Structure 1
Amino acid sequence: MRDEPILQVQRLEKVFGRSCSHCQHQDTRQLEKNFCPYCGTVYACRNISFELFPGEILGIVGESGSGKSTLMQCLYFDETATGGEMFINHEDFKEKNIFALSNQQKRYVRNHILGMVYQNPAKGLKMDFSSIGNIAEKLIAAGNRHVGEMERVGTELLDKVHLPLFRMKEEPKRFSGGMQQRVQIAKALSNYPPILFLDEVTTGLDLSVQASVLDLIKTIQREMGISMIVVSHDLAVIRMLADRTMVMLNGEVIEKGLTDQILEDPQDAYTQQLVYSLL
Structure 2
Amino acid sequence: MKQKENITLSVKNVSKLYGDGCAYCAETDAVLDKNVCPECRTVHACRDVSFDLHSGEILGIVGESGSGKSTLMKMLYFDQEASRGSYHISDYDTSQSNVFGLSSQAKRQIRNEILGMVYQNPVYGLEMDFSSMSNIAEKLIAAGSRNVGEMTGTGDHFLDKVNIPLNRKFDPPINFSGGMQQRVQIAKALSNYPPVLLLDEVTTGLDLSVQADVLELIKEIQREMGISMVVVSHDLAIIRMLCDRTMVMLNGEVIEAGITDQILEDPQHAYTQQLVYSIL
CA drift at 1:102: 1.1
Instruction: Check if 1:11 corresponds to 2:17.
Output: no
Cα distance in 2, alignment partners of residues 179 and 221 from structure 1:
19
CA drift at 1:173: 0.3
Cα distance in 2, alignment partners of residues 130 and 217 from structure 1:
23
Q: Which ranges in structure 1 are unaligned for 5 or more consecutive residues?
A: none
Cα distance in 2, alignment partners of residues 91 and 8 from structure 1:
12
- Residues 30-109 of structure 1 correspond to what in structure 2 (within 5 A)? 30-90=31-91, 92-109=93-110
CA drift at 1:98: 1.1
Task: Give the one of 27, 38, 54 matched to 1:25.
Answer: 27
CA drift at 1:145: 1.2
CA contact (8 A) 2:92 2:114 kept: no
Deviations 1:204-239 (A, max 9, x none): 000000000000000000000000000000000000
Instruction: Check if 1:175 corresponds to 2:176.
Output: yes
Cα distance in 2, alignment partners of residues 37 and 157 from structure 1:
50
CA drift at 1:37: 4.1
Instruction: Check if 1:118 corresponds to 2:119.
Output: yes
Cα distance in 2, alignment partners of residues 179 and 136 from structure 1:
18
CA drift at 1:51: 0.6
Amino acid at match of 1:137: E
The percentage of aligned residue pairs carrying the same residue is 68
Which residue of the partner structure matches residue 221 of structure 1? Answer: 222
Aligned length: 277
Residue aligned with 2:100, SS: helix
Instruction: Check if 1:189 corresponds to 2:229.
Output: no
Residue aligned with 1:230, SS: strand
Cα distance in 1, alignment partners of residues 225 and 148 from structure 2:
24
RMSD: 1.1
CA contact (8 A) 2:62 2:247 kept: yes
Which residue of the partner structure matches residue 248 of structure 2? Answer: 247
Cα distance in 1, alignment partners of residues 37 and 25 from structure 2:
6
With the length of structure 2 as denominator, give the TM-score of the two structures.
Answer: 0.96
Instruction: Check if 1:262 corresponds to 2:263.
Output: yes
Q: Which ranges in structure 2 are unaligned for 5 or more consecutive residues?
A: none
Which residue of the partner structure matches residue 234 of structure 1? Answer: 235
CA drift at 1:23: 2.7
